[in-house]
Each structure stands twice: as structure tokens, then as C-alpha cells.
Amino acid sequence: MVETLEAAKNSPHYKTPVKPGHARGVAAGFWFNVGADSSAAAHVGEDGTVTVISGNPDIGGSRASLALMAAETLGVDYDKVRPVIADTSSIGFNFVTGGSRVTFATGLAVVNAVRDMIENLKGRAAKIWEVEPDAVIWENGYAKPASSNVGKFEPLSLAQLAAQAGKTGGPINGHAQLNAQGAGPGFGVHIVDLSVDRDTGIVTVERYTAAQDVGTAIHPSYVEGQLQGGVAQGVGWALNEEYIYDAKGRLQNAGFLDYRMPVASDLPMIETVLVEVPNPSHPYGVRGVGEVPIVPPMAAIGNAIARATEVRMLDLPMSPPRLSAALDAMAPKRAAE
């Protein structure tokens, strides 16, 4: 939390004076993040490429992140790893695909599956060299003798081991299943500059920065996208999104033409500050990212509106009709002053 507050304080946005006609709001938020059940498998193809199989649909770049962690664990290039998303009957149960658990928990399952496969690979090298399995180490994508005492053997690559798999015990696979604990909380500090049209109650978001403790950013641009997506949803929640019913309880805005969500033209470029505080419960320091950024926007925007108008909005959304009504209610008091 402290690191994230400091990062927000040192951001270009916070250091820039507020423009005339704009108002600034700041808010901090928290989400504990989630681990839970995940299954994963890995296998070596006969050409030495690796397939990593997991069960959570890719809704925010998780395939790339899982492939990166598998490549790092194996010590091979990222382009040698092919991530595949399978269904429950193929790979086993995976808990929900949400905003914060897949790269953490399924990532942990992938790392463990690859480690399981590496043990298998070391065993195959041991058979080829006729040594004990613990006399073999895995380093930078190769099986190597653990020391010179083991004997003089040329390192064996994934492709070389795969080529001899049939002679040494069959396909080379790894598997893991777990209930991941220690998801590691995430903190976000958001800064918003906005302007308010006092006649209509329309709020325009002029500038927005989200600073967040993201653990290790395995794929930084996807992490940035998670923050931007969360902010966009948070801005919609703050300013527009609501179900509107008539007097008979019938929903009046059942379609996306009438259910007002922010679109690209409603938003500025959302600036991000990735604060990397590794999660000690994950081998690569991963913590959930996608849920934290929807927590602070409402408070940040509410604070900015209060500063702009001296009206403290207490209900969401702070939509044009509501804000306009609140400003009208304030008008006699302002006139008296």
C-alpha cells in the first residue's frame, strides 16, 4: 500500500497542477484476490516444442502469461511454448475465470506441471547416460550432469530427449493440480481530473491515472490493459451504469443502446503506474490484477465532483440527472451566500 501511494504521489499526473475548470480526486482501494482450484498439464512434442494445457478461457492475456512462466521455468524461448485452453473433461476442474486468479493460481499449476515434466526429462537423461536421476540437473533448457563426478556427457536438449522418448519410457508429460493459497492482496491508488457541466450535470473525465501493486508483471502490457479495463468499468459504475425501471417494475434500458456504458470516446487515455511488489507465495511473484482497479474509481470521481461542485454525491451512479438535481438543490444556498 505504501509503495503504491508513493508511486501515485510521484506520478506525472499528481505532480501536474490541476487545470482551470478541472477538479482532482484521489482514492485508494484494496482487493484480497483469489487463488483456488486449478489443473494444468505440459508435454514435449517430438520436435522439442512444449504444449501447456490449462482450463481457464483467456479473457485478459492469460495464455501469454502462462506460456511465459512455462518458458522461464524450462529455460527455453517463449516461442517454443504453445498454450492450449482445454475443457474440464480434458484437463480437470478449474475454478472460475475471473479478474484476479488465473495468472496466479493456474500459473502456479502450470509452473508445477512444467516442474513435474522437468523431473521426467531428468529421468530420461539419466536413463540415456546410465546414471542415477539425482545426478542430472536441468539448466537453461538442457539436461546436464550435476557435477564432473557424474561423467562427461554432452547436455541434452528438449528436442534430443523428445527424439528418444519412445526408447526411454514413452511420452514426456507433466501434470499438476492444486488449491492455490496466498493469493496476496492488491492495492490501487487512482487519480482523476474531471470537469462538470453545471447546467446538465454531465461529468467529463479529463485525465486518469491508476497506480497499482501488481506483483510481478509477467506480461506488462496485458497487466496495463487489466488496469485500464477496470478503470473503464469503474467510470461506468461511477457515472452512468444503472438499471432503470418504470412504475410497474419493467426494465426500461434492457439493451446496450440504452444501458449507458463508457465507450472509447468517453474516456481519455488511462495512464498506468505498475508497482511491482512480488507476492512471496508465488514462484514468480504473481498477484491478482484485474479486480483491484474497479474499486477506487467511484470514490476518486466522487471526491473530484465534490471538489468541483461542493456537492457530495452519496449514491451511484453520479449520473447527469442525479448530479443536476443535486446541483439544483444547492442553488438557493449558493445564491444566499
Minimum CB distance to other proteins smaller for 98 or for 283: 98
- CA-only gyration radius of the chain, Å: 26
Alpha helices in the chain (DSSP H): 2-9, 12-15, 62-74, 88-91, 107-129, 158-163, 165-168, 220-239, 297-309, 320-336
The answer to whether 206 and 25 have CB atoms below 8 angstroms apart is no
Minimum CB distance to other proteins smaller for 228 or for 279: 279
Interaction of residue 36 with other proteins, rule CB under 8 A: yes
Minimum CB distance to other proteins smaller for 54 or for 209: 54
Residue 268 CB-density burial (10 A; 0-12 exposed, 13-18 middle, 19+ buried) = middle
Minimum CB distance to other proteins smaller for 96 or for 329: 96
CB of 181 to other proteins, least distance (A): 5
Interaction of residue 181 with other proteins, rule CB under 8 A: yes
Torsions phi, psi for 81 (to 5 deg): -115, 130
Interaction of residue 31 with other proteins, rule CB under 8 A: yes
Stretch that binds other proteins, among 29-37, 203-211, 248-256, 325-333 (CB under 8 A): 29-37
The answer to whether 8 and 14 have CB atoms below 8 angstroms apart is yes
Minimum CB distance to other proteins smaller for 97 or for 173: 97
Residues 267-286 close enough to bind other proteins by CB under 8 A: 281
Per-residue x/- track, 291-320, other proteins (CB under 8 A): x-----------------------------
Distance CA 22, CA 261 (A): 22
CB of 53 to other proteins, least distance (A): 20
Per-residue x/- track, 95-134, other proteins (CB under 8 A): xxxxxxx---------------------------------
Distance CA 226, CA 303 (A): 24
User: Which three cell numbers mark 155?
Assistant: 547436455
Closest C-alpha among 97, 3, 100, 101 to residue 295: 100
Q: Which residues bind other proteins (CB under 8 A)?
A: 31-36, 95-101, 179, 181-183, 185, 281, 291
